[in-house]
Amino acid sequence: MVKEIADFEKDVARSGVPVVVDFWAEWCGPCKLLGPVFDKVAGDKALAGKVAFGKVNVDEHAELAQNAGVLNIPCVILFDKGEEVGRMVGFSGEAALRAQIDGWLKR
């Protein structure tokens, strides 16, 4: 399940597991391509309990994007206890996204 992130402290920093966050916007073509891929990876039962997934609409929550240093979208960031662990900018297919998340989780 993918949660819409509105409160970084509550939804990300205090999460019991690392959180992968997709920063996106309605008007962004590559974001529209990444959305279904992100949702599919988020639904992977093998990742359940290991990592949570969230999305931030940068137009609705510009301060969250600014605080995370997001300059380009789509931007996928893994946070652990509120700290950035890894970042991927631009559209990536399912295999690349899965590989990136797996690599981040092994750190």
Domain count, the chain: 1
- On whether residue 32 sits in a domain, the answer given is yes
- On whether residue 46 sits in a domain, the answer given is yes
- Measure the CA–CA gap between 46 and 1, rounded to whole angstroms: 13
* CATH number of the CATH domain containing 38: 3.40.30.10
- On whether residue 81 sits in a domain, the answer given is no
**Catalytic residue positions?**
28, 31
pLDDT of the chain, 107 residues: tens digit per residue: 899 999 999 999 999 999 999 999 999 999 999 999 999 999 999 999 999 999 999 999 999 999 999 999 999 999 999 999 999 999 989 999 999 999 998 87
- On whether residue 86 sits in a domain, the answer given is no
- Give the residue numbers spanning the domain of 23: 1-70
> 105 and 18 in contact (C-beta within 8 Å)?
yes
- On whether residue 107 sits in a domain, the answer given is no
- On whether residue 56 sits in a domain, the answer given is yes
Residue 91 to residues 6, 15, 27, 44, 50: CA-CA distances in angstroms?
Answer: 23, 26, 14, 19, 23
